[in-house]
Amino acid sequence: MTKSIRAKITALGTYVPPRVLTNADLEKMVDTTNEWIMERVGIRERHLVDKGVAASDLAVEAVKNLLASHPFDLQQVDLIVVGTVTPDMMYPSTACLVQHKLGIVNTWGFDVSAGCSGFLFALNTGVKFVESGQYKKVLVIGSDVNSSMTDFTDRAVCIIFGDGAGAVLLEPAEDGEDGVIDHVAQIEGMGGQYLYMPGGGSLNPASHETVEQKMHYIHQDGRNVFKYAVKKMAEMTERILEKNKLTGKDVDCFIAHQANLRIITATADRLGMPMEKVIINIDRYGNTTAGTIPIAMRTAIEEGKLKKGDLVLLAAVGAGFTSGATLLRWAL
């Protein structure tokens, strides 16, 4: 009988650009207030790139920070999977650009487009390649420059998003180690109508008209996305816990996609999880799409809420609609 291989996260690196946009700044740009944003979404400030900085740049910085805490020879990387919906350009893939900028010579890689579930979908993909025995070092990156597609006159959108990236290294777990235990994931394409960026693709190639009609910006029906996210995040987390005969009480650390504080607290309530086990950093970073989960892993470590051996539940819901939950034993 062949022995089953499990994957574990062996290193983490994150990066947010230095420029900060506060709610006070937004009050000067659109008809909004700090009180409304804090109460309805839970964001105080977010980080934004300067002109000329792209998703691959944030990804590269995240990998450099990963290397600083866990030095190893990048030439050993077998696979790079990048979750992003704000690639530097339509093609080449962000994975190709990251590989080139990092000077990794012999590797494979590709992008995963799953909106706010981008990091989870990329992680689950990378895990399968480690579990198959084919690869021993997989870089999984979530990187998004949301400011590149944000209409800073649309108050329902521009208050939510920020820019940021995170990277983890996946390697085979030792015998008897849990590593990444399980995942559930789903797409429901009927949700495409509620959160999308219509311009610049093959349906609406970029033109004066697409720009005039603001088709190069995020189009969001916030209320419908919110309703779906609350329902689906609860459903996916309950599904993975039930599948593994666990309850919310067994989980040591809950790291959810940071889109709206109310979505996270509603899910934690449903799972009966006390807030000290729930990681919140949306106040500092906003919604960085594929960046949120690794950046929240960093916050969890900094706040002493994530330690070696902890059972961790990850969850995300995003554009598509996409959704997923992953269960893992923290190995750092």
Nearer to ligand UT7, 13 or 191 (CB): 191
Measured distance CA(296)–CA(145) in Å, rounded? 17
Contact 325, 82 (CB under 8 A): no
Smallest separation, CB 37 to ligand UT7 (Å): 6
Smallest separation, CB 27 to ligand UT7 (Å): 9
CA 43, distance to chain mean position in Å, is: 17
Residue nearest to ligand UT7 (CB): 222
Smallest separation, CB 181 to ligand UT7 (Å): 24
Question: Known catalytic residues?
Answer: 116, 257, 287
Nearer to ligand UT7, 252 or 283 (CB): 283
Nearer to ligand UT7, 224 or 244 (CB): 224
> Which residue in 215, 111, 130 sits closest to 169, CA to CA?
130
Smallest separation, CB 115 to ligand UT7 (Å): 6
Smallest separation, CB 258 to ligand UT7 (Å): 9
Measured distance CA(158)–CA(204) in Å, rounded? 23
Contact 254, 313 (CB under 8 A): yes
Tokens representing residue 247 in the block: 């309850």
Pairing of strands 163-172, 45-47: unpaired
Nearer to ligand UT7, 10 or 292 (CB): 292
Nearer to ligand UT7, 37 or 271 (CB): 37
Instruction: Give me the residues that bind ligand UT7 (CB under 6 A), please.
Output: 32, 36-37, 40-41, 116, 155-156, 159, 222-223, 225-226, 229, 259-260, 287, 318
Tokens representing residue 160 in the block: 């939510």
> Which residue in 98, 100, 172 sits closest to 135, CA to CA?
172
Q: Name residues whose C-beta falls within 8 Å of residue 60's C-beta, 6 or more positions apart in sequence.
A: 98, 101, 102
CA dihedral 36, 38, 44, 47 (to 10 degrees): -80
